[in-house]
Amino acid sequence: MEDREVILDIQNLRTTFNTQEGLVHAVNGISYQLHAGETIGVVGESGCGKSVSMLSVLRLLEIPPAAIKADSINFKGENLLDFPDHEMRKIRGSKIAMIFQDPMTSLNPVLTIGFQIKEPLKLHLGMDGEAAENRAGELLKLVGIPDADSRLADYPHQFSGGMRQRAMIAIALACNPTLLIADEPTTALDVTIQAQLVELVKELQDKLGMALIWITHDLGVVAGLAERVIVMYAGFVVEDAPVDSLYEDPRHPYTFALLKSLPKLHEKPGEQLETIEGLPPDLLELPAGCPFVPRCAFVKDKCRTENPGLEEISLDHKIACWVDIKTGELR
């Protein structure tokens, strides 16, 4: 993994929102790297900062109320935070593309699917007329829409949910991005359609070789898709590990509890599910110590006063926790 080029390097990203109630600390100093062609899954509950961190990377948040601070967000060696707006616009949708969660609302209802696929082609690649039309047809075929050329003239309401998400993927892939960010692309869809799309994205990635960040709250989807998984909680990265070791040997109490709270298809049914009691912390007032303390089964005194940073505990496996959950003692 390490011999691949690092294409995205996020260092100490912090995003806050200024609201009437006060400052919401949505992302609180996260750092990770992504290699060319790699697939990572970013997992966490709603409000844990997984989407906001990606929107911060793309600088798609309105400033103010948002404020984005980071030591650096290097994309292929260049710091995205230094780019003026018009440079940033050249990167969005061409080198870094994003698929949004809700295919029902992220397409423009008054423009045809064809127009919306051609938009990035025109803007970023300077295509027009027949060339753009042909390429749009190709893209729609690529994402598995039958009779693609004639469907270019359709409006989004004529497409089903699964087809709209396919059209979104076609738009995202239009300019052959180096990095594709998928923000819960299958959450709004049914399981059988979800399976279709996961399969499609895997295939396309094999074919086109882009790196992929897949944001989700569903640990199951990530298991079959990602090489590495990043678990977020309350705006912090709490665990970062290769997919196999994360599922077999989760080391952060939150990941550990989350995996235990899922009903397994081959477990003995009828048993009580293990739960994580309580609620995630209020992002208006972050605690001084570790944010997981109120819900954690392994709390030590140190956890209440000092927030642990992300530390490598074995090869490629990083956690932000003071405790070794195997012994229950401080590491």
**Residues at the interface with other proteins (CB under 8 A):** 45-46, 160-163, 190-196, 199, 217-221, 223-224, 243-244, 247, 257-259, 261-265, 269-270, 272-277, 279
Report the 10 Å Cβ neighbour count for 57: 23
Shortest spacing between CB 67 and other proteins, in angstroms: 26
Measure the CA–CA gap between 14 and 213, rounded to whole angstroms.
19
Nearer to other proteins, 18 or 160 (CB): 160
* Token couple for 188: 């709004």
Measure the CA–CA gap between 325 and 312, rounded to whole angstroms.
15
Eight-class DSSP state of 156: G
Nearer to other proteins, 15 or 165 (CB): 165
Shortest spacing between CB 287 and other proteins, in angstroms: 18
Shortest spacing between CB 265 and other proteins, in angstroms: 6
φ, ψ for residue 156 (rounded to 5)?
A: -55, -35
Shortest spacing between CB 296 and other proteins, in angstroms: 12
Please name the residues in contact with 2: beta carbons below 8 A apart, sequence gap of 6 or more: 35
Shortest spacing between CB 105 and other proteins, in angstroms: 16
User: In DSSP terms, which residues pair with 323 in a beta bridge?
Assistant: 330
Shortest spacing between CB 295 and other proteins, in angstroms: 8
Q: Greatest CA span in the chain, whole angstroms?
A: 68
Per the CB < 8 A criterion, the answer to whether 181 and 205 are in contact is no
Nearer to other proteins, 242 or 287 (CB): 242
Eight-class DSSP state of 298: S
Half-sphere CA count of 204, side-chain side, radius 13 A: 26
Measure the CA–CA gap between 104 and 53, rounded to whole angstroms.
23
Nearer to other proteins, 135 or 217 (CB): 217
Nearer to other proteins, 77 or 269 (CB): 269
Nearer to other proteins, 45 or 102 (CB): 45
Report the 10 Å Cβ neighbour count for 314: 11
Nearer to other proteins, 37 or 162 (CB): 162
Q: Which residues of 281-298 are buried (b: 16+ CB within 10 A; e: fewer)?
A: bebeebbebbbbbebbeb
Shortest spacing between CB 123 and other proteins, in angstroms: 31
